[in-house]
Chain A
Amino acid sequence: MNFTNFGKYILLLKAAFRRPEKMKIYLKAIFQEMDFIGRGSLGLISIISTFIGAVMTLQIAFQLVSDLIPKTIIGSVNRDSSILELSPTISAIVLAGKIGSAISSEIGTMRVTEQIDALEIMGINAPGYLILPKILAGITMVPVLVIISMFLSITGGYIGGTLSGAVTAAEYMQGITTDFNPYTITVALVKAFVFGFIITSVPAYEGFYVKGGALEVAQASTRAVVISCISILACDYIVTQLLL
């Protein structure tokens, strides 16, 4: 995204946040999008988080060869890295693929089949009607998914650790409960909020300005996912730097 594109993106967002024509219709759209983003991604996020938690535990145990370090450390390292980095960032990247491509192809198809023109002719603010509900659903549901992901990642660590014998249940439980800093949750939620915004707004932008046909819609989807992922990682760094 170069600077003119970035300017266009900002202007599109400004248009999206204009006052809605009919609150009731927007609310309905927001709930639909929340359902799509939230419930629709729950299964995927659950599976991924549980496995990542389990694998993380095994790896930490594998690297902790020294007898001087207590085994309880496995639980607390897994907890902190899940909360701070793995749950928000990996969830966001997975969601960028799943939700981002859907948003961009939906809006892009509406563009090339003149459905967006039809909205505009009716006097409807197309960016508002199409994009605002998605952004609002993204910034609310991605944090919810991230919280679920944290919980499952830590649970996955318990399952993986105890099944493989890398750590006992008591050690793991003690690990995840000692020295817990609730501020890490705040950092994770700020990240999730920012990522939720990126995952919905960047693909919406890519779709909204598609010109051409099916091929261009597909290219826009690909671009949307790539740009979202890069933006997620860049913002991940910035937020971490600012808040930790």
Chain B
Amino acid sequence: MIEIKDIHKSFGDNEVLKGISGKFQEGVTNLIIGGSGSGKTTLLKCMIGLHHPEQGHVYYDGREFTQLNFEERIEIRKEIGMLFQGSALFDSMTVEENIMFPLNMFTDQARSEKLDRVNFCLERVNLEGKNALYPAELSGGMKKRVGIARAIAMNPKYLFCDEPNSGLDPKTSIVIDELIKEITEEYNTTTIVVTHDMNSVMGIGDYIIFLHEGKKFWEGSNKEIAKTDIQELNDFVFASRFMKAAKDKL
């Protein structure tokens, strides 16, 4: 479980997060939703220590993270898998080397064992046999999927995904959503997914927090979100005519 308490973060005069708290349980998919520029990525980066919040705390199963020094953070970070919004693949390495990289760094497995793991991860994101390609030779959606494969390579206890299915076709999107849900349930991972994809919200949103104007505006499950009367949330979730029609039918 990850708990955040009263996270504040500004960039200069731009106050992006104005005190966000929440509890993300293991074994369920937790979503952070909100409009573009609402601070979703910033919140995620505060949680993993890439941004330093001015105020607030992050607890990984009770272990306070923001106060730790570099060495102490490493222990927690080894348990984290992260998919970046821009994939952040190592572009001097092939797909295989990218996924194998954390295994090389932190395990003493034999090469064949590591290769099995790489192929297993690639299979799960539907990229079998793409081992030898370089990131520059992949499409945007393929990079995303390699990013996911790399994030799950070490069997993380905490999984963070920043817009895992932006840039993917609807079918692959659902495959990725299902994969995230499966991994979460199978390994009892604490999973936090940033998204503004409404299919994901409806499909896998066990616990959702909605960021608006730097605050946690709403929290609840995908079942509750359909019934909400809050104007801002409705404007966001049911922005498209299609979703509006779907809602009216409910």
Contact = CB atoms under 8 A, between A and B. Distances in A.
B58 to A, nearest CB: 14
B242 interface: no
Contacts of A178: none
Given A22-B104, A22-B105, A25-B104, A123 B88 contact: no
B134 to A, nearest CB: 13
Contacts of A25: 104-105
Contacts of A35: none
B48 A121 contact: yes
Interface stretch (B77-85, B191-199, B225-233): B77-85
Interface stretch (A111-119, A148-156, A194-202, A227-235): A111-119
A22 B102 CA distance: 11
B78 A118 contact: no
Query: In the complex, which range does the number of interface residues on chain B fall in?
Result: 20 to 34
A12 B37 CA distance: 31
A69 interface: no
Query: In the complex, which range does the number of interface residues on chain A fall in?
Result: 10 to 19
Contacts of A122: 77-78, 80, 101-102, 105-106
15 contacts: A21-B106, A110-B90, A114-B86, A114-B88, A115-B88, A115-B90, A117-B50, A118-B88, A120-B49, A121-B50, A121-B77, A122-B77, A122-B80, A123-B74, A123-B75
Interface of B: 45, 48-50, 70, 73-75, 77-78, 80, 82, 84, 86, 88-91, 101-102, 104-106
Given A121-B77, A123-B75, 19 more contacts: A21-B105, A21-B106, A22-B104, A25-B105, A110-B90, A113-B88, A114-B88, A115-B88, A115-B89, A115-B91, A117-B84, A118-B88, A118-B90, A120-B50, A120-B77, A121-B80, A122-B101, A122-B105, A123-B73
Interface of A: 15, 21-22, 25, 110, 113-115, 117-118, 120-125
